[in-house]
Amino acid sequence: MLDYASLHALATVVREGSFERAARALHVTPSAVSQRIRLLEERVGCALVVRAQPCTATETGRRMCQHMDRVLLLEQELEGTLPALAADTAVRVGLPVAVNADSLATWFAPAMAAYASTAPVLMDVAVDDQDHTFEWLRNGTVLAAVTGTARAATGCSSQPLGAMRYVAVCSPSFHAMHFANGVGAGSLARAPALVFNTKDELQSRWVHRLCHRHVELPRHYLPSSHAFVAASLAGMGWGMNPLVMVREHLERGSLVELLPDTPLDVPLHWQRARAASKLLEGLTHHVMEAAKEALL
């Protein structure tokens, strides 16, 4: 049987990044935290924390922290049905989820905020490309994810959310400079594109659909959804922006589509661990309702 006081100390050290901050959060001394983790490491026979600045979990330590996340969620659920077990002070539990940046910047954040304002949770949000958030869920790092993968991860359920519509846009001056003679493989190979990070394939997918072949794009890397719009407005490059974020700019003419009526629709899915607490059901309700309003 694992010592859950020690597990809690481990999870707190990893979350807070140091033994000192973990001790303050747990209202004990740093030496007490260190002793609990040392005993746990002796119990499992390997190191659980990389003692650096900040402290991070080893692979085994990460798995232990994931187990602790689930235990705390289940305890919170049990206290909800058996009030006599509830502590005198409200305890919020961590709820790790993964989401793509464009969803977080548009419809997901309000849904999450509405849920977290009433639920006894502390949201722990990881941001990654929609084609990669599935891995966060598959390896157990998060309990739920907005992902582009429909196939459910092992032990998870999958529900379609709808599709996020993207449009290829740039400023009128950028369009006049780079695409005055049309949008094709040649002009796209010369005009700088805005790309979120090395995982972002949206621009390449749109170009491949248009040109029916791979075109090597000159790229500005810009890992921010709102900065993507600002950079497009400033004439830094062209990029695939969520329609919901640029609709007003298109209507005012401060942004234009590279080619009208050539959107790229990206289907999204909500996957969550089936064995996790009913607290996830509340988050799921808010996520599904928000997606119904915001996505195609």
Question: Per-domain residue ranges for the chain?
Answer: 164-266
Place of tokens 């954040």: 109
Q: Is the pLDDT of residue 31 over 60?
A: yes
Judged against a pLDDT cut of 70, whether residue 275 lies above it is answered with: no
Q: Rounded CA gap, 190 and 174, in Å?
A: 12
Q: Residue type at 5?
A: A
What's the pLDDT score for residue 79? 61
Superfamily of domain 164-266 in the CATH hierarchy: Periplasmic binding protein-like II (3.40.190.10)
Higher-scoring residue by pLDDT: 178, 13: 178
pTM, rounded to two decimals: 0.79
At residue 77 the predicted structure's pLDDT band, cuts being 50, 70 and 90, is low
| Pick from 63, 74, 70: nearest CA to 14 | 63
Give the pLDDT band (50/70/90) at residue 213: very high
**What is the reported pLDDT for 139?**
77
Q: SS3 breakdown of the chain: % helix, strand, coil, rounded to 5?
A: 45, 20, 30
Q: Specify the pLDDT at position 207.
A: 97
* Gyration radius of the chain's alpha carbons: 23
* Whether the Cβ atoms of residue 133 and residue 141 lie closer than 8 Å to each other: no
How far apart CA 56 and CA 247 sit, in angstroms, is 42
Determine the Cα–Cα distance for residues 84 and 232; give it in Å rounded to an integer: 56
pLDDT at res. 89: 47
Q: For position 61, what pLDDT does the model report?
A: 84
CB 267 within 8 A of CB 150: yes
pLDDT at 235 over 90: yes
pLDDT of residue 87: 54
d(CA 185, CA 210): 9
pLDDT at residue number 277: 65
Q: What is the pLDDT of residue 286?
A: 97
Q: What angle do CA 105, 110, 113 make, to 5 degrees?
A: 120
> For 81-140, what is each residue's pLDDT tens digit?
666 555 544 567 778 899 999 999 999 999 999 999 988 888 989 999 998 999 888 877
Return the DSSP state at 260.
T
- Per-residue confidence (pLDDT) for residue 76, from 0 to 100: 66
pLDDT in the model for residue 16: 85
Q: CA 91 from chain center: how many Å?
A: 24
What b/e readout covers 134-160, taking b as 16+ CB neighbours within 10 angstroms? bbbbbebbbbbbbbbbeebbeebebee
What pairs with residue 170 in β-bridges?
A: 256
**Considering the chain, what is the average pLDDT of its residues?**
90
Least confident of 73-77, 175-179, 252-256: 73-77
What is the tens place of the pLDDT at every residue in 245-270?
999 999 999 999 999 999 999 999 99
Phi, psi of 34 (to 5 degrees): -60, -40
